[in-house]
Chains A and B, each alone.
Chain A
Amino acid sequence: MAATSHELALRYLLELSNDIRAALLYDRSGQLLAAAPGAPPGRLAELGARLLEEAGALAQEEAETVELDAGCEGGWVFLIRAPEVVMLCLTERSVLPGLVFYDMHAILNDLDRAARAEGRRLEPAAEASGVRGAARAR
């Protein structure tokens, strides 16, 4: 099965940063969109969805961006709640959080740019089909 653009973006993130062990991408409702390097093990996706819900509860406004990093025994958890999607990454303990966030933001910006470009590409087509539909109705 061909990889989705979300999966490709996460794979690129793992290539960009050797520190990131696993990356998951959700939509804002908590639906898993993609994971890398493979399907998330066990209940990881479910626990990640719960974390994004908890992180969202910290925000003052619905659209507010939330960044969270947690240093735990055996690893570090990073989360960015962007306007459209939520990205969760897991790393080793010995990382520089600023660099991990930098790489995550780079990928989120790419996804956002791609989504906007896709929107622009679809708009004229939709308008043209709308015009054709109106002409046919006449």
Chain B
Amino acid sequence: MTPPKPMGRLGGYAEEVAAAMRRRRETRRPRVRVRLGHAEARVLDEDSHEGTRLLALCQRIVDEERTPARG
């Protein structure tokens, strides 16, 4: 078996980096996931009414917690 060519190896690295960036972007995207009982967890559609409402409420919770104490 012939060893991989340097350019091919570099291409492989670039693909891995691109995939890692895609995964990172995906995990950092705002989203709400819900699991009811023992069912599979499902990500709420960000355009759905409940998804939008819950995400907005959670964002307010995070903002409130990060706000320095008043007074």
Contact = CB atoms under 8 A, between A and B. Distances in A.
Interface of A: 21-22, 40-44, 47-48, 50-51, 54-55, 58-60, 64-77, 88, 90, 93, 97
Contact of B29 (A51, A64, A67, A71): A71
Contacts of A72: 30, 55, 58-59, 61-62
B70 interface: yes
Interface residues of B, number: 29
Contacts of A88: 61
Interface string B1-41: 00000000000000000000000000111111111110001
Contact of A41 (B37, B50, B54, B67): B67
B36 to A, nearest CB: 6
Interface string B52-71: 01110111111111110110
Given A51-B58, A59-B36, A71 B28 contact: yes
Contacts, number: 92
18 contacts: A21-B65, A40-B65, A41-B64, A41-B67, A41-B69, A44-B64, A48-B61, A50-B57, A65-B37, A66-B36, A68-B33, A69-B32, A70-B58, A71-B31, A72-B58, A74-B62, A74-B63, A90-B61
A73 B62 contact: yes
How would you classify the secondary structure of chain B's contact residues: helix, strand, loop or mixed? helix
Given A54-B53, A70-B55, A77 B69 contact: no
